[in-house]
Structure 1
Amino acid sequence: MYGSHPPAPGTAQGTSLDPSDAALIAQSRDDPECFAVIFDRYFAEIHRYVSSRLGTGPADDVAAETFLAAFSQRHRYDTARAQARAWLYGIATNLVRRHRRTEVRAYRALERTPAEADSGGHADRVADRVSAQRMQPRLAAALAGLSAGDRDVLLLVAYGELSYDEVALALGIPAGTVGSRLNRARRHLRRVLGHDPLASGGTE
């Protein structure tokens, strides 16, 4: 329905969107095929985000469901917001919440897995540091110990690379709450790990 092949990673970021997401979503209300462009722009990064939290197994289905839900909700989209990125991350996060047990089980399984040598060095992106596919066992354990709300904020910032305002929009909470949840989550990581792996130059 929305195209057979996801775009290369990073397609939606760092590029000028013309026409805007809002314009495409508005057009799709009368011409549903226009929504395919939204899928092409964002599927790859939404899939990576879901995969980082649930693993590759459920990611295909949950990412696809994200865009089906967005399509069904397009008539309610606030077209004053030119970019749909935060909206899509919010839908994806709501769907991830249905798999909380799967997510925590994945972290607990990683916690029991022997750590592999880190070959990436300090230049690795922060997203790689919290990826379920490359996560160190102690970090997995620390994430499993977070509340659902704090983990959502932490991973939207660290993996989705959303701003505080975008996270607030995605989760429907005030920006101040985003800041307090993120600070609480990072304090928890420092307490469990003895350092903050999300800080610049941090290591697992």
Structure 2
Amino acid sequence: MPPLQSRGPDDPPPDLDLMEGPAFGDLFRRHARAVYNHCFRRLASWSAAEDATSIVFLEAWRRRRDALTDAGGSLLPWLLGIATNVTRNQQRAARRYATALYRLPEPAGEPDHADDVAARLDDERRMRAALELLSRLGRDEQDVVALVLLSGLTYQQAGLALGVPEGTVASRLGRARARLRALRPAPSLKGAPDGA
């Protein structure tokens, strides 16, 4: 057994004295860089090394009663042993994850939604134009056009929905059609052949 060495007043406390309470932060500051570098050398990823370093010190705190020091009183070999196990577990988990991803079927190609978007925009444009034209009708005529022509109800069903007789629906729809024909813009003759 090596002889006990006396510590001077300026000597840092041995690692084992830093395993309890707030002093554990001093242990972290003392060895974190070495543990972090070891983890990076094993994982080749700075962010994975950061995570591993956190796990190492969490495990060290959890297992502090089992701490082993070298002849000089350093816990670094013990911490690096924990780091080796932590990085090995992370590598194993990464391999399992990659294997699981490999077993998944290839994702099906997503259809191009550009045509659907263009069609929806065209529908909205046409509907705004139709509503602009319908806004020139009376409210009762608008309701009949919306129910019969746009929603496909029969005269009887529209009458039931509006609380009016079937004949009233027919006459309102007739007036609405006549007004819409009168309001509809004339087709453009631009580009038409001469004499048209």
TM-score normalised by length of structure 1: 0.37
Q: TM-score, normalised by structure 2?
A: 0.38
- More helix by percentage: 2
Higher relative contact order, structure no. (Cα contacts within 8 Å, ≥ 6 residues apart)? 1
Bigger-Rg structure (1/2): 2
